[in-house]
Amino acid sequence: MDASIGDRLRLKEPLPYLKTADPMPMLRPPDLVEPGEIGEVVALRPLDTLAVRFRRGTFLIPVDRLEAVAQDRDD
């Protein structure tokens, strides 16, 4: 999956832990983001990892755990 900054993505499945996207990352409990929650890509990281902003924080998520959300646009 190709993602770019600003894309809206959905978490497909729960992770064993969440890693924050801070300059000094911390591990956080997985219940901060529920499967199916939609977030926005704020940064692209190496090794197929994205920094995604969810309602309870910004976390580093592997691309294979995310799926694209259909965007509704009024053109």
The residue to which tokens 């529920």 are assigned? 34
Quote the tokens at residue 4: 């770019």
The three-class DSSP label of residue 30 is helix
pLDDT at 8 over 80: yes
pLDDT at 71 over 80: no
pLDDT band, residue 72 (cuts 50/70/90):
low
Q: Which domains does the chain have, with CATH numbers?
A: 7-68 (2.30.30)
pLDDT band, residue 9 (cuts 50/70/90):
very high
Question: What pLDDT shows up at residue 49?
Answer: 95
Query: pLDDT tens-digit profile of 11-66?
Result: 999 999 999 999 999 999 999 999 999 999 999 999 999 999 999 999 999 999 99
